[in-house]
Amino acid sequence: MTHVFDDEGRFIPVTVIEAGPVYVTQVKTPEKDGYSAVQVGFGDQSDKHLTFPKFGHLKKAGLTKNVRHLREFRVDAVDGFEPGQAITAEIFSAGEEISVTGTSKGRGFAGGVKRHHFKGQHMTHGYMTHRRPLSSGATGPQRVFKGTKKPGHMGDEKVTQKGLKVVAVDAERNLVLVSGSVPGANGCLVTINKEAK
């Protein structure tokens, strides 16, 4: 994350996302595949780390370079998309509303206070259950119901942040500046979707 100043001098925290170039690796049509979608690839991959099926798939698309990540996007129509076509950050414009999907940071095993924001108990002397969970429910059922908030694994989940706005676009370096924060750690892979009006 970093920050920029708008025309009125207001401080705006932004997240810088490298949005391309992505390359079209496959175009799916309702006649052949049953639905309309565009598969794109992003990142660099060396030949020694590429599997034979993926190598053949990229060669069929006519790509001159290997891509590391493949993602598929549903579209209403596949007109204008061809295998091997490069898509840059120019498809976004300043002021546009988007949603960003990524994998949240993994926190490992966390207690109830950190994981579910429990209040906790008294911190005075003599009180020995400061942050531990107490009762798990009534004694009638004699079991713990599914979905009860307990300590456990926290984070490392698919998270979608909606309602973000594009502050600026750097087409030369394929950078998109998004207002606020996005899910995931620095350098992780995220997916940007345009919000449906």
Q: What pLDDT is recorded for position 196? A: 58
Q: What pLDDT is recorded for position 181? A: 93
Q: Where are the alpha helices (DSSP H) in 43-117?
A: 52-61, 112-116
Given a cut of 70, the residues of the chain with pLDDT beneath it are: 196-197
Fold of 1-18+92-106+155-197: Elongation Factor Tu (Ef-tu); domain 3 (2.40.30)
Question: How is the chain split into domains, by residue range?
Answer: 1-18+92-106+155-197, 21-87, 108-136
Question: Of the candidates 177, 190, 197, 184, which has an alpha carbon nearest to the alpha carbon of residue 89?
Answer: 177
Assigned token pair, 90? 């120019």
Highest CATH level, class, for 21-87:
alpha beta
Q: What pLDDT is recorded for position 40? A: 93
With 0.95 as the threshold, say if the pTM is over it: no
Q: What pLDDT is recorded for position 177? A: 95
Assigned token pair, 50? 């590429």
- Residue 13 C-alpha from the chain's centroid: 19
Question: Of the candidates 189, 194, 187, which has an alpha carbon nearest to the alpha carbon of residue 158?
Answer: 189
Q: What pLDDT is recorded for position 194? A: 86
Q: What pLDDT is recorded for position 39? A: 93
Q: What pLDDT is recorded for position 137? A: 83
Neighbours of 187 (CB within 10 A): 6
